[in-house]
Copies of this chain bind each other. A is one copy, B any other.
């Protein structure tokens, strides 16, 4: 019997997710600079749970109730928060065994948009290999949701999406006829031999440089530093691989 190949679809903006949404698919959230990279880091450093919240008001409410809160907007740490969105913030001494409430400009909003789907998982270069292997085991169709920038298309999220889609298709268990998946793979093939050089032109790379927040650029584009597979359960993320 021939195996039925599973499909990959790619959604370039949370504002378009309703067009792709399918309760039975696994949704992979991608926000390379910096939320999904930082979430993998936090679990690597022993965080217990991450509660992603979309609004500043919710994050404030959690803070009042004694939670550790990581929150930023447009790259800048919010004044009431314990720290911001850099993977460097999630050190063992801060996060080990803790529950962190997390709110960012794009990434946590994307998680919320996808939260009614059966399975939502966090993707980044850091956990590329463990995530790919895990997705292969699940035997489900996949939607990759790029967090983008305020619902706009983002180059760095798309390039990673291409890297993930390419690996899944090369496994011969997945296929795609989705134009945005095909475009992502082609862009990944342009970028892959000089990933940081390619990302130089991305708008968000410039934003982070202007804010002097680009120290994490190389880290966020490094493959397989993390074994974490952050999965959404009810209203929080936990590491299914620990």
Contact = CB atoms under 8 A, between A and B. Distances in A.
Interface string A175-188: 00111101100110
Q: How large is the interface on A (under 10, 10 to 19, 20 to 34, 35 or more residues)?
A: 20 to 34
A204 B183 CA distance: 14
A186 B159 CA distance: 12
A18 to B, nearest CB: 9
Q: How many copies does the complex hold?
A: 2
A16 B152 contact: yes
Contacts of A179: 149, 152-155, 158, 202-204
Contacts of A13: 13, 16
Contacts of A5: none
A12 B206 CA distance: 22
Given A16-B151, A158-B183, 10 more contacts: A13-B13, A16-B16, A19-B150, A153-B179, A155-B179, A178-B203, A179-B202, A179-B203, A183-B187, A186-B186
